[in-house]
Amino acid sequence: MASIRHEVLARGVPRIRRAREIDDLLAEKARLELAHRRLDRSFPSRAVPGFAKRFRLDREDAGGFPSYVVTPRDVPVTSTLVYVHGGAFVAPIDPFHVRWATRLALATGARVVLPDYPLTPESTWRASHEQIVELTARWAAEPGGAVLAGDSSGGNIALAVALTMRDRGLTLPSRMVLHAPWVDLTMTAPGTAEAAARDPWLHLGKAHAYARWWAGRDDLTLPQLSPVNGELDGLPPALMLYGTRDMLAPGCQLIAERARASTWDLTVVEEHDLIHVYSLMPLPEARRAFQASVEFLR
Residue type, position 174, single letter: S
Cross-strand partners of 55: 72
The verdict on pTM exceeding 0.85 is yes
Q: How confident is the model at residue 18 (pLDDT cuts 50, 70, 90)?
A: low
The 8-class DSSP code of residue 93 comes to: -
DSSP state of 118: P
For residue 101, give the nearest of 77, 132, 70, 65 by alpha carbon: 70
Specify the range with the lowest mean pLDDT, choosing from 101-105, 132-136, 241-245.
101-105
14 has pLDDT over 80: no
β-pairing verdict for 175-179 and 238-243: parallel
Q: How far is CA 155 from CA 24, 113, 123, 191, 244, in A?
A: 28, 15, 18, 20, 17
Say how far apart CA 215 and CA 255 lie, in whole Å: 20
Say whether pLDDT at 34 is over 70.
yes
Collapse the DSSP code of 251 into the 3-class scheme (helix H, G, I; strand E, B; otherwise coil) and give the result.
Answer: helix
What pLDDT is attached to residue 12?
72
Burial degree of 168 (CB within 10 A; 0-12, 13-18, 19+): exposed
Nearest Cα to Cα of residue 129 among 86, 165, 169: 165
> Nearest to residue 129, comparing CAs of 97, 94, 180, 167?
167
Which residue spans within 49-194 are E strands per DSSP? 55-61, 66-72, 79-84, 110-115, 146-151, 175-179
Here the CATH number for the domain that contains residue 141 is 3.40.50.1820
As a three-state string, the secondary structure of 154-201 is HHHHHHHHHHHHHHCCCCCCCEEEEECCCCCCCCCCCCHHHHHHHCCC
184-235 tens-digit pLDDT: 999 999 999 999 999 998 999 999 999 999 999 999 999 999 999 999 999 9
Domain count, the chain: 1
Q: Is the pLDDT of residue 13 over 70?
A: no
| Domain region containing 248 | 4-297
Question: Higher-confidence residue: 54 or 23?
Answer: 54
User: Higher model confidence: residue 2 or residue 294?
Assistant: 294
Q: Rounded CA gap, 298 and 16, in Å?
A: 38
How far is it, in rounded angstroms, from Cα 196 to Cα 206? Answer: 11
Residue-wise pLDDT tens digits, 235-268: 999 999 999 999 999 999 999 999 999 999 999 9
